């Protein structure tokens, strides 16, 4: 019998264990389903450098708890910032968007973006509103009042085509299939720390530091131990059964399973079933798919001073059915990659990403290179390799991160419901962490980080009160 078992060795699980161990409670066993730690952090060696296939950035400095940890432990930070959504904005006919039209339209849409923070101030009033509705209404109003009839038709069409790109870009950032599914209230509740940065030696350097600290404690990590059953109503604690047949007991369990995994498995995972409100939250809160494809060429063919290609289309691509051929039209663009001067990174999200994941790597690379030839109107250097992420088809992740919909807000549900502990005989028997349980930092590593710390504190406070 362990005092505490933690399910999952991602950031949330590791930080829960670390904070508990630092407080003197280190009879802890971490059960990790995969053959590695890190969860949705995945850094691989590539060309003598590090390459991120999972989490990419530290989203903000300042009061960001993760940033404070990085500073405290002197984890090296990259001097550059790997930006997304920059470079040349080119259309499928090879034409580049005029800079004056691009800049003015970008400023307007960024203003709409920032103005959406106001919706958090009155959650009840705006519970039915989606961010997609707001963007469409505000942008159409601007076009009709200030642009249509006041500028050449071609200029307005450029703006519409850029708007289509901008919405795809925001969907990639939010993790939702459509901005019409993204809650306006939660958009404003998200705490933004600004000034993104990245790790000089990959996100794995964060994992290595946490693991180094845990190695000084009695915390044990068992890899390749997928938990298939949690019976939590026993008088003495909870019993966990793993896929390999091993059985473990604990007084307290912290689950950091992804929301995607809970959506698919909560019925058979928990015995007895979870409380109805938590089940409603699991089923209502969204869990999106975002993937990146890293194309490594023998040489760059883009302007090093303005690297990257953002892809515009001269038609409404949403009118066309999504399939194994058309998914590539939903790629937002191709970004440069820090430390990899010959590499471009393509972004795709939603249903297009799920279709992409079903294709062979070579087919994906061929289709993406076809798009690059289409917009650049030039031949490309040879492709050395392609690295494709497949987070939706990862059986233990089933997506990347959470988002709230207007329907979730109307039901009065949110991350706090996902993080509500299950009390048995007056004790917090099952606790829940992970990015989806953090109302202020959902969708981020620092959300997972703070959620792990939060549940550790909950247990520490309980122990001290006994």
Bridge partner list, 77: 199
When computed from its CA atoms, the radius of gyration of the chain, rounded to whole angstroms, is 23
Q: What is the Cα–Cα distance from 417 to 450, expressed in whole angstroms? A: 16
> Does residue 22 lie in a domain region?
yes
179 and 220 co-located in one domain = no
Cβ burial, residue 448 (10 Å; 0-12/13-18/19+): buried
DSSP per residue over 374-429, as a string? Answer: HHH-S--PPEEEEEE--SSS-TTTSSSEEE--HHHHHTT--HHHHTPPEEETTEEE
Q: What is the Cα–Cα distance from 191 to 131, expressed in whole angstroms? A: 17
Bridge partner list, 428: 423
Q: What is the Cα–Cα distance from 438 to 446, expressed in whole angstroms? A: 9
Quote the tokens at residue 234. Answer: 């026993």
261 and 211 co-located in one domain = yes
Cβ burial, residue 151 (10 Å; 0-12/13-18/19+): middle
pLDDT-based confidence at residue 257 (cuts at 50, 70, 90): very high
The tens digit of pLDDT for each residue in 355-413 reads 999 999 999 999 999 999 999 999 999 999 999 999 999 999 999 999 999 999 999 99
> Does residue 227 lie in a domain region?
yes
> Does residue 159 lie in a domain region?
yes
**192 neighbors 60 (Cβ within 8 angstroms):** yes
Residue that wins the pLDDT comparison between 388 and 84: 388
Predicted pLDDT of residue 152 = 97
What's the domain range around 408? 2-39+205-286+399-465
State how far the alpha carbon of 41 is from the alpha carbons of 83, 394, 417, in Å. Answer: 18, 13, 25
Q: What CATH code is carried by the domain that includes residue 422?
A: 3.50.50.60
Residue 283 Cα to chain centre, angstroms: 18
Quote the tokens at residue 45. Answer: 């060696």
pLDDT-based confidence at residue 84 (cuts at 50, 70, 90): confident
SS3 279: helix
The tens digit of pLDDT for each residue in 281-320 reads 999 999 999 999 999 999 999 998 999 999 999 999 999 9
Quote the tokens at residue 450. Answer: 């703070």
Predicted pLDDT of residue 226 = 98
175 and 259 co-located in one domain = no
221 and 177 co-located in one domain = no
Q: What is the Cα–Cα distance from 288 to 290, expressed in whole angstroms? A: 7
266 and 404 co-located in one domain = yes
411 and 461 co-located in one domain = yes
Predicted pLDDT of residue 187 = 87
Average pLDDT value over all residues in the chain: 96
229 and 154 co-located in one domain = no
170 and 219 co-located in one domain = no
SS3 45: strand
Q: What is the Cα–Cα distance from 287 to 267, expressed in whole angstroms? A: 17
User: What is the tally of structural domains in the chain?
Assistant: 2
The tens digit of pLDDT for each residue in 130-173 reads 999 999 999 999 999 999 999 999 999 999 999 999 999 999 99
> Does residue 379 lie in a domain region?
no
Boundary (domain end) residue, out of 189, 221, 255: 189
Q: What is the Cα–Cα distance from 190 to 441, expressed in whole angstroms? A: 6
Predicted pLDDT of residue 130 = 93
Predicted pLDDT of residue 109 = 96
- Provide the percentage of residues in the chain whose pLDDT is more than 70: 100
* pTM confidence score: 0.96
What DSSP character marks residue 195? -
Cβ burial, residue 425 (10 Å; 0-12/13-18/19+): exposed
In the predicted model, is pLDDT for residue 82 greater than 80?
no
State how far the alpha carbon of 54 is from the alpha carbons of 44, 68, 260, 400, 424, in Å. Answer: 10, 21, 16, 9, 36
Residues 6+ apart with CB under 8 A from 307: 86, 87, 300, 335, 336
Residues 6+ apart with CB under 8 A from 184: 116, 119, 126, 129, 130, 131, 133, 134, 406
> Does residue 177 lie in a domain region?
yes
Q: What is the Cα–Cα distance from 34 to 30, expressed in whole angstroms? A: 12
What DSSP character marks residue 296? E
Q: What is the Cα–Cα distance from 456 to 210, expressed in whole angstroms? A: 15
104 and 33 co-located in one domain = no
Mean pLDDT along residues 39-64: 96
* Main-chain dihedrals φ then ψ at residue 391, nearest 5 degrees: -75, -30
Mean pLDDT along residues 222-249: 96
pLDDT-based confidence at residue 235 (cuts at 50, 70, 90): confident
**387 neighbors 53 (Cβ within 8 angstroms):** yes
- Provide the percentage of residues in the chain whose pLDDT is more than 90: 91
Predicted pLDDT of residue 127 = 87
162 and 102 co-located in one domain = yes
Bridge partner list, 345: 294, 335
> Does residue 235 lie in a domain region?
yes
209 and 184 co-located in one domain = no
Quote the tokens at residue 179. Answer: 């901005």
104 and 239 co-located in one domain = no
């Amino acid at each position: 019998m362990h005092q505490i078992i933690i399910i999952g060795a991602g950031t949330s699980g590791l930080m829960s264990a670390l904070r508990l161990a630092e407080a003197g409670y280190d009879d802890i066993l971490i059960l990790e389903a995969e053959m590695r730690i890190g969860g949705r952090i995945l850094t691989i060696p590539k060309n003598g450098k590090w390459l991120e296939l999972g989490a990419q950035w530290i989203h903000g400095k300042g009061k960001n708890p993760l940033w404070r940890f990085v500073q405290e432990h002197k984890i090296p930070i990259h001097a550059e910032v790997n930006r997304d959504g920059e470079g040349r904005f080119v259309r499928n006919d090879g034409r580049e968007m005029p800079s004056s039209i691009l800049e003015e339209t970008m400023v307007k849409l960024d203003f709409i973006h920032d103005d959406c923070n106001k919706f958090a101030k009155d959650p009840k009033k705006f519970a039915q509103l989606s961010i997609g509705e707001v963007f469409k209404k505000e942008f159409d109003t601007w076009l009709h009042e200030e642009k249509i009839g006041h500028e050449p038709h071609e200029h307005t069409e450029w703006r519409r085509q850029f708007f289509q790109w901008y919405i795809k870009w925001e969907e990639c950032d939010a993790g939702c299939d459509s901005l019409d599914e993204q809650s306006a209230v939660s958009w404003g509740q998200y705490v933004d720390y600004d000034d993104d940065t990245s790790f000089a030696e990959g996100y794995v350097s964060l994992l290595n530091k946490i693991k180094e600290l845990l190695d000084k404690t009695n915390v044990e990590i068992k890899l390749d131990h997928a938990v298939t059953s949690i019976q939590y109503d026993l008088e003495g604690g909870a019993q966990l059964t793993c896929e390999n047949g091993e059985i473990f007991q604990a007084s307290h369990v912290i689950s950091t399973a992804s929301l995607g995994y809970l959506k698919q498995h909560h019925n058979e995972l928990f015995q007895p079933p979870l409380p109805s409100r938590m089940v409603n939250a699991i089923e209502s809160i969204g869990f999106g798919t975002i993937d990146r494809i890293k194309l490594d060429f023998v040489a760059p063919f883009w302007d090093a001073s303005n690297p990257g290609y953002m892809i515009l289309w001269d038609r409404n691509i949403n009118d066309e059915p999504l399939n194994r051929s058309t998914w590539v039209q939903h790629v937002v663009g191709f970004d440069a990659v820090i430390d990899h001067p010959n590499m471009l990174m393509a972004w795709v999200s939603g249903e297009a990403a799920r279709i992409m994941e079903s294709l062979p790597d070579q087919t994906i690379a061929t289709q993406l290179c076809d798009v690059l030839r289409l917009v650049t109107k030039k031949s490309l250097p040879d492709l050395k390799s392609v690295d494709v992420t497949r987070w939706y088809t990862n059986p233990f992740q089933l997506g990347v991160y959470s988002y709230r919909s207007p329907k979730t807000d109307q039901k009065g549900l949110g991350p706090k419901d996902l993080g509500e502990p299950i009390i048995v005989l007056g004790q917090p028997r099952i606790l829940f962490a992970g990015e989806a349980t953090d109302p202020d930092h959902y969708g981020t590593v620092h959300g997972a980080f703070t959620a792990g710390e939060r549940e550790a504190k909950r247990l520490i406070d309980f122990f001290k009160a006994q």
